[in-house]
């Protein structure tokens, strides 16, 4: 608890740091007001009985969902999104509050005695709870905030969700990136991307066969087969042109057939599942281009391309990221000193006080300061995980993991986009970015958990 | 249940933080590009151009100065859509020109340094009137701004070759000297080029903070890092502008050159190269167009014939021969050679004209006897008593000439000087397969054959004789503000010939004026010395040449006149030389010679060339 308290002070001091930075931006006053109010909220939360959250979890969730739905219709159009509720001088973003509500609801659901994620029906209910607010937020055209809900999968993984779902997610991202990045390089009639991805699929399939079934023989046979095919392909290519990507794809199909054979012979489903994975991956690979070109919005396509380095457009879509990298890069080892950042002070980085706040840290405090912030965040998240682990009941643990996962996701995406590693997805950096709703959202999220933690020994 | 997974999740957190730290390390510590980029982002380094040094003539007359001019600049990244038509009207250009200029700027082949972040020149040297209108409406054209510049103004339409011109630096200049940025000017010819580093001064810089919209947010650190420009240094030339003007007038409709030197200092009093042009033509926006026209002109007006033209010196070369033979003891003042309207040793060739025979060296110089010097060369290099071989003798002969300033550059402070040509013995060995003697190469004794010299070198000979044995490297800049002249322009360079022999040659040149070939050079009250030259040339009529100095004792001026295809030395060389000396020594051309002046100025030797007074293209 002492450490938790220390962290909250840290959080507060970040905020002060933050406020100082806004001397020029003209927003320190309102941020101070939000902070004052959030301190009030902290008190309210800490005063409440810890059971309160357990009891009212569904109610809070229902209210927030209604608010979200209302927002879709009531909110004015601000920068293309309909996520702000305007109440006189105050503007609220209900999406920020939906996170803790969702976390509470999911936690309560999973706290039911005998609840097991592995039961498909339960898993489905959890998914509904998570996707409901996500869809609402998507309808508000706040893609970034909606994506945050994917963070819950990290928590679900801890709670017993199959690791393969995460693996599949990671694979999907990796395949997508590889295919996009190398789709321009054409070898024969197919692209370099297809060749690389197909080989990754083969490799993963083999590793899975080895790990899941401890079936050295099958994996070895596959390896030999693939090697033989490539050697044969190479020799043939000396005489007639050979499309290696087609060979790789053919090998994937052959592997699937082999796995089905193994499955039939040994009467084990696992081979079929692995084969299904390989087949699905291949299908995903073929659908990437179609999805990219036909499903994604043009501005999303460009953002992805910029972050993959496929397009360089420093004055257009890449402007934010480029300026942000310049600002961070110019900070050097020790930075330019508090309030001395030229890039951020002169407003070169758009959204520098909200989503791109990390630039200011990078420029003014340099590598040392930015690293310190990152390490603090890392410790903070790990500390949250540790706190979650020591909770006696599932409700608190699930909630704790949700909090940690959400912070993790925010950190990953936000710092990633600011440093040009991930596409620009407009989500704030917790406790740093300007904005009352997000500050409140994170405050409530965090302090409900601290309140729960404080009473972990009550029963 | 699944508690081990907390370690996997925690590792993911640690991994993520590590990835970010590595990324930050790369961005912030390893890669320096971003810092430079940030500077160019936030700092508008406004260059403050120093005023270029101005030039005066030797009498303090202003020759070259600066006039304000304005460049229209723009930064592509900051340009936003604007009323192009209005913009074009202000600058008096058509929309097509605008589109073409924009395309040219963006074309990296034409403009390799192009970047949308860096200021680009849209239009050079806009008049102050156009600039005023533009300045008023500048707010309508985001991304455009006006850069103050200066252009060179020339007080007189003369001395173009000496003064030189400035022009925009090219890619090579920028690579060689990081002082320059695109759009800067630097000296392209003449003094502007050779004294570029003195004249240009040092650029200043004003560091302004600029926000993302290009608005100026004030000076960086209250101007602590600003640098004030240092003006270029002023130059006082050794040129006498009145003399230069007269020279150019006398040389109109002729190709050739006049060089005058103050012997004791090596200062060049005038340097005329004809045809010439108005230096103002190559200043300002018309520079490019005019330069092309001058370049194409068949008479090569851009060539400074005084230092870049190499001519056979003809008989003006004879004093060098007299000096060499006297010093080597080949002849004495008593030595007499015969002349029978030609060099009898080779059957009367080269031919000579009617005069008493035999004759001594003084008389030979006065009458410009060809045979005398041919005999001299023969006695010098063909005699095996004197030197072991003809080659050895020839090399000694050549070294005398080199010591007198021939065959190598004189290191005048102007760009593009030619060294002329004095062959060495290897040249002849190769040419004649090693079998040669004085007869083979006899025409070099009278300044013909392979011998080539610039008018400056020829004039330098007159100056050396005037000084009786030394010269100071000729130069056109007399004083650099607050800076001493380079010692090569103050040190005396002695030749390898003794002073007493120079006295003999001077006497010969004095006699040439008193009763020899250049009697028309005589100026009442001044003891003028001179030597004519009629240089044969394979391309046409003989060149008319003259060298002289005056007064005989205590010379104040040495002169060389060289008129291409002017015929006998006495026809143009002598009278023009006389007029020039009169002008310099008396201040004015006497009434009695006004007619001569007009005759010379109006004489047409080469028709249809660029000429004063209206040197229009």
pLDDT in tens, A30-80: 666 777 777 788 888 888 877 788 888 888 888 888 888 888 777 776 666
The reply to whether B13 touches chain A by the CB within 8 Å rule is yes
Residue B440 has pLDDT above 80, yes or no: yes
Residue B217 has pLDDT above 70, yes or no: no
Partner residue opposite A159 with nearest CB, options B2, B10, B17: B2
pLDDT in tens, A294-348: 667 777 776 666 655 555 544 455 566 777 777 777 777 766 666 556 566 555 5
pLDDT at B522: 92
pLDDT in tens, B285-309: 778 888 888 888 888 889 999 999 9
pLDDT in tens, B395-417: 999 999 999 999 999 999 999 99
Whether residue A378 and residue B209 make contact (CB cut-off 8 A), yes or no, is no
Local confidence band at B380 (pLDDT 50, 70, 90 cut-offs): very high
Interface test with B, best of A326, A332, A397 (most B CBs within 10 A): A326
Range among A78-92, A135-149, B10-24, B239-253 rated most confident: B239-253
Partner residue opposite B13 with nearest CB, options A362, A382, A415: A382
pLDDT in tens, A362-387: 777 788 888 888 888 888 888 888 88
Local confidence band at A18 (pLDDT 50, 70, 90 cut-offs): very low
Nearest-Cα distance to chain B for A63, in Å, is 32
Between CA B127 and CA B71 the distance in angstroms is: 9
Local confidence band at A421 (pLDDT 50, 70, 90 cut-offs): confident
**Greater confidence, A308 or B534?**
B534
pLDDT at A20: 42
pLDDT at B210: 65
Confidence (pTM)? 0.61
Local confidence band at A15 (pLDDT 50, 70, 90 cut-offs): very low
pLDDT at A5: 41
Give the residue extent of every domain in chain B: 45-237, 241-277+302-602
Of A325-334, B2-11, B255-264, B596-605, the one with minimum mean pLDDT is: A325-334
**Greater confidence, B124 or B197?**
B197
Residue in chain B closest to A420 (alpha carbons) equals B23
pLDDT at B617: 46
Whether residue A157 and residue B211 make contact (CB cut-off 8 A), yes or no, is no
Mean pLDDT of A217-232: 80
Partner residue opposite B24 with nearest CB, options A327, A370, A411: A370
Local confidence band at A26 (pLDDT 50, 70, 90 cut-offs): very low
A284 CA to centre of own chain: 20
SS3 labels along chain A: CHHHHHHHHHHHHHHHHHHHHCCCCCCHHHHHHHHHHHHHHHHHHHHCCHHHHHHHHHHHHHHHHHHHHHHHHHCCCECCECCCEEECCEEECHHHHHHHHHHHHHHHHHHCCCCCCCCHHHHHHHHHHHHHHHHHHHHCCCHHHHHHHHHHHHHHHHCCCCHHHHHHHHHHHHHHHHHHHHCCCEECCEEHHHHHHHHHHHHHHHHHHHHHHCCHHHHHHHHHHHHHHHHHHHHHHCCCCCCHHHHHHHHHHHHHHHHHHHHHHHCCHHHHHHHHHHHHHHHHHHHHHHHHHHCCCHHHHHHHHHHCCCCCCCCCCCHHHHHHHHHHHCCCCCCCCCCCCHHHHCCCCCCCCCCCHHHHHHHHHHHHHHHHHHHHHHHHHHHHHHHHHCCCCHHHHHHHHHHHHHHHHHHHHHHHHHCCCCCCCCCCCCCCCCCHHHHHHHHHHHHHHHHHHHCCCCC
Nearest-Cα distance to chain A for B220, in Å, is 10
Local confidence band at A23 (pLDDT 50, 70, 90 cut-offs): very low
Nearest-Cα distance to chain B for A42, in Å, is 27
> Alpha-carbon torsion B407, B408, B413, B414, what sign?
positive
Nearest-Cα distance to chain A for B27, in Å, is 5
Of B176-180, B427-431, B532-536, the one with minimum mean pLDDT is: B176-180
- The contact set of A with B (CB < 8 A) is 154, 157-160, 315, 323, 325-333, 342-343, 346-348, 350, 362, 366-367, 370-371, 374-375, 377-378, 381-382, 385, 389, 404, 408, 411-412, 415-416, 419, 421
Nearest-Cα distance to chain A for B78, in Å, is 10
CATH 3.40.710.10 fits B241-277+302-602, yes or no: yes
Local confidence band at B511 (pLDDT 50, 70, 90 cut-offs): very high
pLDDT at A374: 86
Whether residue A382 and residue B10 make contact (CB cut-off 8 A), yes or no, is yes
**Cβ-based contacts of A375 with chain B (< 8 Å):** 17, 21
Nearest-Cα distance to chain A for B224, in Å, is 16
Between CA A450 and CA A441 the distance in angstroms is: 14
Residue A170 has pLDDT above 50, yes or no: yes
pLDDT at B41: 62
pLDDT at A310: 53
Whether residue A329 and residue B14 make contact (CB cut-off 8 A), yes or no, is no
The reply to whether B39 touches chain A by the CB within 8 Å rule is yes
Cβ-in-10-Å burial (0-12, 13-18, 19+) of A101 comes to buried
pLDDT at B561: 96
Local confidence band at B139 (pLDDT 50, 70, 90 cut-offs): confident
Residue A240 has pLDDT above 60, yes or no: yes
Mean pLDDT of B330-341: 90
Residue B526 has pLDDT above 80, yes or no: yes
**Cβ-based contacts of B38 with chain A (< 8 Å):** 326-327, 329-330, 342-343
Mean pLDDT of A249-270: 77
pLDDT at A6: 44
pLDDT at A89: 62
pLDDT at B555: 94
pLDDT at B241: 94
pLDDT at B579: 95
pLDDT at A339: 57
Between CA A21 and CA A7 the distance in angstroms is: 21
Give the residue extent of every domain in chain A: 1-46+311-459, 48-138, 167-297
Radius of gyration in angstroms for the set of CA atoms belonging to chain A, rounded to a whole number:
25
How many CB pairs lie under 8 A apart between chains A and B?
A: 116
pLDDT at A4: 43
Q: Average model confidence (pLDDT) for chain B?
A: 87
Nearest-Cα distance to chain B for A280, in Å, is 26
- For residue A384, give every residue at least 6 positions away whose Cβ sits within 8 Å of its Cβ, in sequence order, or none: A400, A403, A404, A407, A449
pLDDT in tens, B222-268: 666 777 888 899 999 999 999 999 999 999 889 999 999 999 999 99
Q: Which residue has the tokens 């006899």?
A: B442
Interface test with A, best of B12, B15, B24 (most A CBs within 10 A): B24
pLDDT at B213: 60
Whether residue A378 and residue B42 make contact (CB cut-off 8 A), yes or no, is no
Partner residue opposite A327 with nearest CB, options B1, B13, B38: B38
Q: Average model confidence (pLDDT) for chain A?
A: 73
Mean pLDDT of A420-436: 73
Residue A10 has pLDDT above 60, yes or no: no
pLDDT in tens, B168-202: 888 888 888 888 887 788 898 999 999 999 999 88
Q: B45-237: which CATH number, 3.30.70.20, 2.60.120.340, 3.90.1310.10, 3.40.50.10800?
A: 3.90.1310.10
Residue A12 has pLDDT above 60, yes or no: no
Residue B160 has pLDDT above 50, yes or no: yes
Residue in chain A closest to B8 (alpha carbons) equals A158
pLDDT at A16: 44
């Amino acid at each position: 608890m002492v450490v938790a308290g220390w962290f909250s002070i840290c959080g507060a001091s970040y905020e002060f740091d933050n406020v100082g930075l806004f001397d020029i931006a003209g927003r320190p006053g309102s941020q101070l007001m939000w902070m004052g109010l959030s301190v009030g909220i902290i008190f309210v939360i800490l005063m409440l009985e810890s059971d309160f959250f357990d009891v009212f979890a569904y109610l809070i969730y229902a209210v927030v969902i209604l608010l979200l739905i209302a927002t879709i219709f009531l909110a004015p159009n601000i920068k293309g999104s309909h996520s702000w509720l305007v109440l006189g001088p105050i503007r609220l973003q209900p999406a920020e509050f939906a996170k803790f509500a969702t976390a509470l609801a999911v936690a309560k659901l999973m706290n039911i005695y005998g609840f097991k994620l592995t039961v498909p029906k339960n898993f489905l209910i959890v998914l509904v709870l998570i996707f409901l607010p996500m869809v609402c937020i998507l309808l508000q055209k706040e893609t970034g905030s909606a994506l945050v809900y994917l963070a819950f999968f990290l928590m679900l993984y801890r709670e017993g969700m199959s690791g393969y779902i995460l693996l599949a997610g990671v694979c999907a991202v990796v395949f997508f990136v590889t295919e996009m990045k190398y789709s321009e390089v054409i070898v024969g009639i197919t692209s370099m991307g297809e060749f690389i991805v197909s080989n990754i699929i083969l490799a993963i399939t083999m590793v899975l066969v080895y790990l899941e079934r401890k079936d050295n023989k099958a994996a070895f046979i596959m390896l030999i087969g693939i090697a033989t095919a490539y050697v044969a392909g190479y020799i043939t290519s000396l005489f007639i042109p050979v499309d290696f990507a087609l060979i790789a794809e053919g090998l994937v199909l052959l592997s699937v057939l082999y796995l089905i054979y193994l499955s039939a012979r040994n009467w084990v489903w696992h081979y079929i599942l692995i084969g299904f994975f390989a087949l699905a991956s291949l299908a995903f690979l073929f659908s990437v281009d179609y999805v990219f070109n036909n499903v994604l919005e043009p501005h999303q396509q460009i953002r992805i391309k910029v972050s993959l380095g496929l397009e360089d457009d420093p004055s257009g879509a890449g402007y934010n990221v480029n300026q942000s990298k310049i600002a961070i890069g110019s900070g050097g080892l020790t930075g330019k000193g508090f309030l001395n950042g030229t890039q951020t002070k002169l407003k070169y980085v758009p959204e520098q006080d909200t989503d791109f706040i990390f630039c200011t840290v990078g420029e003014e405090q340099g590598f040392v300061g930015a690293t310190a912030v990152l390490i603090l965040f890392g410790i903070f998240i790990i500390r949250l995980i540790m706190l979650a682990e020591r909770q006696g009941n599932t409700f608190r643990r699930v909630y704790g993991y949700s909090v940690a996962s959400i912070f993790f996701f925010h950190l990953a995406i936000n710092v990633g986009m600011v440093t040009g590693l991930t596409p620009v997805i407009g989500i704030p950096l917790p406790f740093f970015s300007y904005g009352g709703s997000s500050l409140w959202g994170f405050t409530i999220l965090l302090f409900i958990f601290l309140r729960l933690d404080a009473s972990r020994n009550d029963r | 249940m699944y508690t081990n997974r907390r370690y996997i999740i925690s590792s993911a957190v640690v991994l993520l933080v590590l990835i970010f730290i590595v990324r930050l390390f790369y961005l912030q510590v390893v890669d320096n590009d971003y810092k430079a980029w940030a500077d160019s982002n936030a700092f508008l380094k406004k260059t403050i151009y120093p005023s270029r040094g101005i030039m005066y003539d030797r009498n303090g007359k202003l020759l070259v100065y600066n006039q304000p001019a304005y460049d229209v600049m723009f930064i592509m990244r900051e340009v936003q859509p604007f009323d192009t038509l209005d913009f074009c009207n202000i600058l008096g250009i058509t929309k097509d020109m605008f589109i073409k200029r924009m395309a040219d700027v963006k074309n990296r082949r034409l403009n390799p340094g192009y970047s949308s972040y860096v200021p680009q020149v849209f239009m050079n040297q806009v008049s102050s009137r156009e600039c005023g209108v533009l300045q008023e409406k500048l707010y309508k054209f985001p991304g455009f701004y006006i850069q103050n510049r200066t252009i060179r103004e020339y007080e007189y339409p003369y001395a173009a070759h000496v003064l030189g011109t400035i022009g925009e630096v090219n890619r090579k200049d920028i690579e060689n000297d990081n002082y320059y940025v695109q759009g800067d000017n630097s000296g392209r010819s003449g003094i502007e080029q050779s004294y570029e580093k003195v004249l240009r001064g040092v650029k200043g810089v004003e560091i302004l903070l600029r926000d993302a919209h290009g608005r100026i947010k004030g000076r960086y650190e209250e101007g602590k890092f600003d640098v004030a420009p240092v003006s270029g240094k002023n130059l006082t030339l050794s040129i006498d502008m009145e003399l230069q003007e007269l020279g150019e007038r006398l040389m109109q409709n002729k190709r050739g050159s006049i060089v005058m030197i103050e012997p004791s200092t090596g200062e060049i009093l005038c340097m005329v190269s004809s045809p010439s042009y108005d230096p103002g033509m190559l200043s300002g926006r018309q520079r490019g167009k005019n330069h092309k026209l001058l370049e194409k002109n068949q008479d090569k007006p851009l060539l400074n014939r005084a230092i870049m033209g190499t001519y056979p010196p003809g008989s003006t070369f004879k004093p060098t021969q007299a000096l060499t033979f006297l010093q080597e003891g080949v002849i004495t003042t008593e030595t007499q050679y015969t002349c029978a309207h030609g060099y009898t040793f080779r059957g009367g060739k080269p031919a000579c004209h009617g005069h008493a025979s035999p004759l001594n060296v003084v008389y030979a110089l006065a009458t410009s006897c060809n045979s005398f010097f041919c005999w001299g060369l023969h006695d010098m290099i063909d005699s095996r008593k004197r030197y072991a071989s003809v080659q050895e003798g020839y090399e000694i002969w050549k070294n005398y000439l080199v010591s007198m300033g021939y065959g190598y550059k004189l290191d005048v402070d102007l760009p593009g000087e030619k060294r002329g040509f004095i062959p060495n013995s290897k040249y002849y060995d190769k040419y004649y397969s090693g079998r040669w003697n004085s007869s083979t190469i006899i025409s070099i004794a009278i300044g013909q054959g392979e011998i080539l010299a610039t008018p400056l070198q020829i004039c330098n000979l007159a100056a050396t004789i005037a000084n009786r044995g030394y010269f100071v490297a000729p130069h056109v800049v007399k004083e650099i503000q607050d800076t001493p002249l380079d010692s090569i322009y103050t040190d005396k360079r002695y030749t390898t010939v003794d002073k007493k022999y120079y006295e003999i040659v001077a006497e010969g040149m004095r006699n040439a004026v008193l009763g020899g070939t250049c009697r028309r050079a005589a100026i009442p009250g001044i003891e003028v010395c001179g030597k004519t030259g009629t240089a044969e040339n394979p391309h046409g009529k003989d060149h008319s040449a003259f060298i002289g100095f005056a007064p005989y004792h205590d010379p104040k001026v040495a002169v060389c006149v060289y008129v291409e295809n002017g015929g006998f030395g006495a026809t143009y060389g002598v009278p023009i030389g006389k007029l020039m000396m009169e002008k310099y020594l008396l201040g004015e051309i006497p009434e009695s010679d006004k007619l001569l002046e007009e005759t010379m100025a109006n004489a047409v030797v080469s028709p249809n060339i660029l000429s004063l007074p209206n040197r229009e293209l």
